[in-house]
Every structure is written in structure tokens, then in C-alpha cells.
Structure 1
Amino acid sequence: MSSQRYTPEFKDEAVRQVLDRGYPVADVAERLGVSAHSLYKWVKAVKPDDTEQRANELVEAKSEILKLRARLRRTEEERDIPKKGREVLRSTARVKYQFINDHRAMFKTAMMCRVLRASRSGFYAWLHKPLSDRAIEDRRLLALIRDSYAASDGVYGYLRVYADLQEAGETCGKHRVARIMRENRIKALRGYKAPRHIVGRPSIIAPNRLNREFTVARPDQVWVTDITYIRTWQGWLYLAVVVDLYARKVVGWSMKPTLGREVVLNALLMAVWRRKPARRVLVHSDQGTQFGSDDWRRFCREHNLEPSMSRRGNCWDNAVVESFFSSLKKERIKKRVYKTRDLARADIFDYIEAFYNRTRRHSHLGGISPEAFEQASS
């Protein structure tokens, strides 16, 4: 039978039996009554086009697989970026830029910018200028803040440091100073708690003429005095001070190894000698035995001083001098035990005369020192 007797449709179906269904050529030829040689020719005539189509399909499949693999790899990277920078997601742009720069060897820059929702152009601009103008200014202010803090031996908080910066001509705000100090863990060194409020009986020796009126109109109107204890390896050192309420200035002081009346008399004598008051001065103290002695009352009469006493055990009646002792112990002594009394005397003298009276900013005086306040009002 000649091959010319078979229609093109017959040939196509015979070829499909071989190519699509996978039957052997000999079996298909036998079933259809076609010579195997003719069927081979039909298959060979169709197979190149089919092979090309199959090759194209294979290329498309491989391309799709590559795309899926790339998408999977990108998805895994996008999943891993938040794992490493979870705390960065809600941070500022500059924090995100720093994270991106630190992980450029691990992840692609464009992907990190997309996942972290950061500007790609902003990141490259940040590479040329990592710090903002405000951050650069904060660094400059930090150096000035550290200088002020060190000059106060670590006792200044942000308000007094802010006053120092204002005096130096800086125009920053106090809240900015507080933030910079907080971020750099700079805070005033404190060591003692505030005294408890205790109410006691009035004195029978002298009434409480001051009655907690701690604000006065002129110098040498009211002096307050008291004694405190300083620990040394040689034993206690007793410090008595006389403070003028007008400028909160220590106008008299004395330090002795024993708690006799001489320590308070010497402090009061220094105050009289230095101030030479022209008018009668009210001298307020607690009910310690030194202030109730005959020598104390006689000294007050001879130098035109009028005694006044707090209620027993009530430190608030003499709060100003108690506040001075608290500042001394928090800012200078700091729970330290001096090796000798001489070392303690030298350090306390430096605090009173060089720092407290002349340099230390006092909140009651508007942030200036007692010496500066007196000079400004004179």
C-alpha cells in the first residue's frame, strides 16, 4: 500500500500514538497496517518541530524555577532582616541607616531599605554625613556639660549645669541639658537621705523667734547655727557653722575634736568678727546644750545678738543650716571616712570658703553663689 493513500489527518494521529502515548513504532505500524519504515518517516518529519516546542517548554520551566528560587531566597532574606533588627523597625531613620550599614555584607542594601521602610537615597546621603547638625551640637554641649559637672566635683544637677552654660553664653534649653545628661548617665552624686519630720516641745531658754521665716530683707538680720559630726579614723570632728539667711552664706565656722561650747562660740565669734553687724542680729539654733550654756547667752548679750531656739527634735525649724550640712555631706564628704582630722579640716575648709560661698550655685538665690548674690545686692 502506497503512503500516498494516507491522509494528513491519519498520519498525524499515527504519529501521536508514537510521540504522545509512547507506543513503539513497530506496534503502532502493525496495528494500523502501516509499514514501520513509513511510520518512522512520518515521525521524523514531525519530531523536529515537537522537539523544538518541548525544548521551549523546558526553557520556560527552568526560567520559572529560577524565578521561584529567587523569590524564595528574597522572602527568606526579608524574613531574616527583622529577626536581626527587630528593635530597629520603630527606631529613627539614622538608627536604621546604621543597621543597614552594619549588615551590607549580609543583605542587599535595597532589600534592607524596603523591609525597614528607609529611604535608599537618604541612606547614601547618611553615609557621607552620619551625624545630624543637632547631634553634632549635642556632642559640643556634652563637652561643656562635663566641664561644668567636673568643676562642681560631681554635685551639680542639670539645673545648675544649665545655669553654667547660660553664663557662658550658650542658648540651649534646660530640658536639652537634662536629656544629654540622662543619655550619658551624668547625674549629681548624692549620699544621704533627707531628715525625718519630728515635732517637739518649744525651748524654755529662748522662744522660737524665727518661726521658720527663712527669707529676710537684708544681710546680718538673721543668722542660723548648728553642729554636725564628721567621721575620721582618729575619731569625730565636730563642725559648727553660722549661716546668714539673706544670702545663705556661711559667715562663721569652727572645727574641734571635742563637742564643747568652744566650737559654737568660736564659730559665732568668727561671724561677728567678719560681719561686724551694726544692728541687732537674731541668732537661731536648736536646743543643744552648747546653745543653752551661760557662756553662749553672755556672748550674745555682749555682742548685741538675740537668741532664738527651735522646738526640741524638730529639724525643720532650723532647715537652712540642716540643708547646708546635707549639701556638704552629699557633695563633698559622700560617706567618706577621712584618715585624719587635718585632712577633714582642709577638705571642709575648701568646700565652705572656695566652693560653697564663692562658686556653688544656690537654687534659693536664683542660681548664683552667695558671694555673687551679696555683691549684686550691695
Structure 2
Amino acid sequence: MSSQRFAPEFKEEAVRQVAERGYSVPDVAARLGVSAHSLYKWVKAASPDRTEQQSKELLEARSEILRLRAEMRRVEEERDLLKKGRAVLCQATRVKYRFMNEHRHDYAVTLMCRVLRVARAGFYAWLHAPVSDRDTEDARLLELIRDSHAASHEIYGARRVFGDLREVGETCGLHRVERLMRRHKIRAVRGYRKPRPFAGRPSLIAPNRLQQAFTVDAPNKVWVTDITYIRTWQGWLYLAVVLDLYARKVVGWSMKPTLSRELALDALLMAVWRRKPDGRVLVHSDQGSQYGSDDFKRFCAAHSLETSMSRRGNCWDNAVAESFFSSLKKERIQKRIYKTRALARADVFDYIETFYNRTRRHSHLGGISPEAFERASA
């Protein structure tokens, strides 16, 4: 049987049956009706072409792998560079140049220029002149600014320092002086320095046992106390109050011209005398020196009163007492000018005993007064 009778497509399919599908030459020859000798020749003739095709595909695959490895290496370098240089991404160009100069032995200059988005030629130009003329002039002006600020005993701001510079013949602008002083934290110092806050620090005398639990289910369980100031023409009048959290009623108060420990003790003594509690009462206050005195602690221990203190600088821990003082000042004190402490004492007494406890409607109590709430609950 001559091989000339078979088309090239037939020969390719026969060879594919042997090469790709794994059939043997005699089986394929018997099924297709060709001689095994002819099929062997077809397979042998096709083998160099297939080998060349496979080699070509292998080279392409290797080239693609090498390209992907190079791309991955480039991406990893850019990632590491961004981690180290994230602080200079939004900085001035010269800051980026300094960063590049520090890491030029770790990363390629071309890579850093691409990631930081700066010109390669500009970086090499900066290497020959890392300090610009403007930076040199700023350094010279900064020394003059420091001298002017120190000569004024640190009370001059940018405008007065600018006046000194103009007086000695400098032609810089005010905004430049402001920028240099702001960058180097040179500012006018006037008055007393602001004390450093200690907000949130717990008390060392008594823990915060109340923890802002302002809703109480019975009277004489929790009292809160605090002190405020009232201005008069004769001087300050100090007011200390004790409130029962159950009905928000003022159960004790005291007013004195001095801020002494007796002020807090007298208010608490009035509360004990008026309420006569038969169980243990929690007394919550701030960390004032009056409430941390030894006399106050002894008084509480003698009358079965358990002390509790707010965190320092945290007004929310004693919000009920602060709210009462806010209502007192907005509704009564800020509407009057007291000539004497006696007039202020009488007016505050009238507000507490006549209006607040007996008449004023309290939003926390459903719109009734503290005494009406206690009568209704009793």
C-alpha cells in the first residue's frame, strides 16, 4: 500500500494517535488500515518537528519564568523601599534626595527615582550642591532670629522679631520669619506656663467605688459632694453641698469665706444630722484637699460613711454635683451681683431650701421636685 494515497491531515492524525494518545504503532496501523512500516516512517518523520516545537515552547516558558522572577524582584524592592521611605513621600524634593543618598548602596538610583517620583538628573545635581543658597540664607536668618528672641527675654513674636531684623538692614519678609520660627518652635512666652494635666489618674486615698452609677433605688445609699465658688464684692464665698442620688436632693450644705476642711465637714455633718442613715452610706467626692484630709476620713469612719473619689481631672465621675452647680449658677447666681457675702448666703439658701428641694421640677425625677419624689416613693 503506497503512502502517497494518504493526505497530510490523515498522516498527522495517525501520528497523533501514537504520540499523544499512547496507542502502539501496530494497533493504530490495524485500526486505520495502513502498514505498520509506513506508520513508523510517519512517526519518525514527524518526531523532529515535534521536538523542535517542544523545545521552542520550553524556551518560551523559561523566558516567561525569568521575566516574572525579575518583575517579582522589582516589586519586592519597591515594597521594601516604600516601607523605609514612607516618611519622605510627601516631603520636599531635597528631603527625598537626602534619603536617596543614605540608601544609594542598598537600592538602585533609578528605582528610588521612580518610586519617589524625582528626577535622576536632579539627584546627581544635588549631590554636587546639597545645600541650596536659600537654605544657607535661612540658616543665617535663623541665627539673627534666635538672637532677637533671646534679647527680648523670649517675649517677642514673629512681628516684633521681624521689626528687629528690618532695623538692622535685613530685607526678608514677615512670612519667612514666621515660617522659620514655626519650624524651629520659637514662640513668645508670656504669663505663667500652663500646668501639665493629670487627667484620668486614679485617687490614692480612696478608690472610685461609684463608677458613674448615678441611679440609686433607695435613699441614703449614695451621697455626692463637691465645692464651688461664688463671687461677691467682699471676695469669694465657698459653697459645699451634699446630694442624695436617689432623689437628687441637697441634704447638706455649708458656706464659708475660706476654703478649709471645715467647709466639707460641716456640709457632711448637716447631711448626717438631717438624714440619720441607719446603714452604710457611700460618699463620693473629687480629689480636693478638703476630702483627703485626716479629719474628713476620721469623720466618715466614725459615722459609717464609705469614701469614694473621682479620677483626677475627670468631671464626669461627679456629674450630678457638677450639674447642680451649673443649675444654681445659671438660674440664680449669674443673674445677680452680690455686694456682701451675707446677701449671697441668703440668696443661695433660698435657692436650695425653698426652690430647688421643694419646688423646682427635676427632669431626672419625671418633672417633680426632690421632696415630692421622696414623699411619693415613701
| TM-score normalised according to structure 1 size | 0.47
TM-score normalised to structure 2 length:
0.47
